[in-house]
A = this chain, B = another copy of it.
Amino acid sequence: MKRLLSSLIVSAAALAGLAVALPAAAQFAKPEDAIKYRQSVMTVLGTHFGRIGAVVQGKVPYDAKTTADNASVVLAMSTLPFSAFGQGTDKGGNTKAKSEIWTEADKFQAAAKDMQGQIVKLDAAAKSGNLDAIKTAFGDAGKACKACHDTYREK
Contact = CB atoms under 8 A, between A and B. Distances in A.
Interface stretch (A38-46, A95-103, A109-117, A134-142): A38-46
A21 interface: yes
A40 B80 CA distance: 13
A69 B27 contact: no
Interface residues of A, number: 23
A51 interface: yes
Nearest to A33: B47
B80 A21 contact: no
A49 to B, nearest CB: 13
Contact of A65 (B17, B44, B51, B73): B17
B27 A36 contact: no
Contacts of A41: 40, 44
Interface of A: 17-18, 21-22, 27, 33, 36-37, 39-41, 43-44, 47, 51, 65-66, 69, 72-73, 76-77, 80
Nearest to A37: B47
B44 A37 contact: yes
A17 B72 CA distance: 12
A26 to B, nearest CB: 12
Nearest to A43: B40
Contacts of A36: 43
A37 B39 CA distance: 11
Given A18-B69, A66-B21, A43 B47 contact: no
A65 B20 CA distance: 10
